[in-house]
Amino acid sequence: MTPFHTRQCLTWLMMLVVAGILFYADRQLPRMGDPRSPASTHVSPYYIEHSHHETGAPNFVTAVLADYRGYDTLGETTVIFTAGLACLLILGVELGRVSQGEE
């Protein structure tokens, strides 16, 4: 067996093990829309009852994203901005230079 073939077999084996773990873990999660899930019985009612009073936000989505999970949202925005900037740098786009239509 060549080293490449061995590596390929190990990769497939690891992928199958990880897929098995994920499928097993999926069985432990509550089903979509389950009214008895922890998110439906604890988190959602709290946000619905307290979000306007605690945050002053006009709707629930704004309250959750901007106030309750503000640091998380800031982190996600930073990651997306950094990824976009990296793509521009990899593609060689020069920032701040406007094309003059040179031929």
Give the number of residues written for the chain.
103
Cα–Cα dist 95/64, whole Å? 34
Q: Give the DSSP letter of residue 37.
A: S
Residue 31 carries which side chain, given as an amino acid letter?
A: R
3-state SS class at 101: coil
Q: What pLDDT is recorded for position 17?
A: 97
- pLDDT < 70 stretches in the chain: 1, 93-103
**Mean of per-residue pLDDT scores for the chain:** 85
Q: What pLDDT is recorded for position 15?
A: 96
- Dihedral sign, CA of 87, 92, 98, 100? negative
- Dihedral sign, CA of 31, 28, 69, 86? negative
Cα–Cα dist 60/69, whole Å? 12
